[in-house]
């Protein structure tokens, strides 16, 4: 129940923020906004301000903005209609939703760094057998102080230092604190084959240590937090686009690499159980992902509308309404099929039904006679 409640609240907030972006820019350029709704379906109650019906509707998931002339087939050429505005104005109305989600993600990341971002400590929690750290005598509980003179505070500093300081055959100078004693080690990293977050096999230098399960809450001053929030957002954006490219080119399997609402809701539920900050982190990630996804040049999405606007700009006239409808309907069918596929994969991965199906498959395989 907690997962469902948290998911409804977070998704509704993010979608409303998205739609609020469309609303503000539309009003700014003089588009008549007929309705701004929290939820879908039958209107329950609301208030009319400035010609806009701000309403609460029956189904509480998300919301929408209804603008005059938004559908070209229903436009009559009036000045207050969206379709009557210049291409540049329409572009900003369409793009405003994704931009607002992106800005919201930036604000959340900045807040997270201000109130305390969860970070692994610099203490060794495991020494892997057969790796250089074991060979030189490193032990569980050792606190890494520096790598090649680079000061270490958190585990991410260790990972970054080992990656960037490993050059050719040169050993690393690793300084540790054991109890009240400081010890220096000369460690030659071992090049190992690992799987990265995209499921790709890569080679990287490793000394063979893993972190303790000790989480620190690290706070930064506002200016530093804003810088780190922006940096985190840009890094995640780059990783998201790289992941999309790998999906399109077959470098990543769709079935195991993409999650829909069910999978995301499951993550939100887990984050909520861990605390407020983990929930903020997953919310910021989802807000960024919504921005990136909505700007993809695919009909039905905001990026698809921008694609149509770009074609109108290049051609000097818009595509015919009939052609736009055919393209949009075809894209909608593909999007629905994709959503159903992803949702079914989420069911298999995250629900009791999926676990039951998985167990039945294991039993069927076990019962097959040998050939």
With contact defined as beta carbons under 8 Å apart, do 128 and 209 qualify?
yes
Say which of 19, 165, 169, 214 is annotated catalytic.
19
Region for residue 41 given its phi and psi (left: phi exceeds 0; alpha: psi -120 to 50; beta: otherwise): left
Rounded Cα distance, 167 and 194, in Å: 19
CA dihedral 307, 308, 311, 316 (to 10 degrees): -150
DSSP H helices, the chain, are 2-28, 87-115, 132-136, 155-165, 222-249, 254-257, 261-274, 276-294, 302-315, 321-350, 352-367
Q: How many residues does the chain have?
A: 371
Scanning the structure block, which residue is given the tokens 């736009």? 324
> How many degrees, rounded to 5, is the angle at CA 79 between CA 73 and CA 84?
45
**Dihedral sign, Cα of residue 255, residue 307, residue 104, residue 12:** negative
Known catalytic residue at 19? yes
> Residue 22 has which token pair?
């469309």
User: How many Å is the Cα radius of gyration of the chain?
Assistant: 26
Rounded Cα distance, 130 and 242, in Å: 33
Counting beta carbons within 10 angstroms of the beta carbon of residue 308, is it exposed (0 to 12), middle (13 to 18) or buried (19 or more)? buried
Rounded Cα distance, 314 and 286, in Å: 34
Q: Which residues are catalytic?
A: 19
């Amino acid at each position: 129940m907690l997962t469902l409640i948290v998911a409804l609240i977070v998704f509704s907030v993010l979608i409303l923020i998205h739609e609020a972006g469309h609303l503000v820019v539309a009003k700014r350029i003089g588009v008549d906004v007929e309705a701004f709704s929290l939820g879908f379906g039958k209107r329950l109650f609301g208030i009319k301000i400035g010609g806009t019906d701000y309403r609460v509707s029956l189904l509480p998931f998300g919301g929408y903005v209804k603008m005059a002339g938004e559908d070209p087939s229903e436009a009559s050429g009036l000045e207050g209609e969206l379709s009557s505005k210049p291409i540049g104005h329409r572009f900003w109305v369409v793009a405003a939703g994704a931009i607002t989600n992106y800005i919201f993600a930036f604000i959340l990341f900045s807040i997270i760094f201000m109130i305390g971002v969860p970070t692994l400590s610099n203490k060794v929690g495991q020494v892997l057998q057969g790796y250089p750290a074991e060979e030189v005598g490193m032990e569980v509980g050792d606190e890494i102080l520096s790598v090649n003179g680079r000061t270490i505070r958190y585990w991410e500093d260790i990972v970054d230092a080992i990656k960037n300081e490993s050059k050719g055959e040169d050993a690393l100078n690793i300084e540790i604190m054991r109890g009240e004693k400081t010890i220096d080690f000369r460690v030659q990293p071992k090049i190992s084959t690992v799987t990265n977050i995209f499921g790709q096999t890569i080679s990287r230098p490793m000394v063979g240590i893993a972190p303790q399960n000790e989480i620190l809450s690290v706070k930064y001053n506002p200016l530093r937090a804003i810088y780190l929030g922006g940096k985190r957002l840009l890094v995640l954006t780059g990783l998201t686009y790289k992941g999309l490219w790998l999906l399109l080119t077959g470098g990543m399997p769709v079935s195991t690499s993409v999650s829909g609402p069910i999978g995301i809701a499951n993550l939100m539920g887990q984050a909520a159980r861990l605390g407020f900050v983990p929930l903020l982190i997953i919310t910021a990630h989802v807000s960024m992902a919504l921005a990136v996804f909505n700007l993809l040049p695919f009909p039905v999405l905001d990026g698809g509308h921008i694609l149509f606007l770009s074609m109108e700009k290049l051609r000097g006239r818009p595509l015919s309404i009939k052609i736009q409808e055919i393209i949009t309907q075809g894209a909608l069918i593909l999007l629905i099929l994709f959503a159903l596929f992803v949702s079914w994969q989420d069911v298999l991965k995250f629900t009791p039904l999926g676990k039951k199906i998985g167990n039945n498959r294991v039993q069927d395989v076990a019962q097959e006679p040998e050939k």
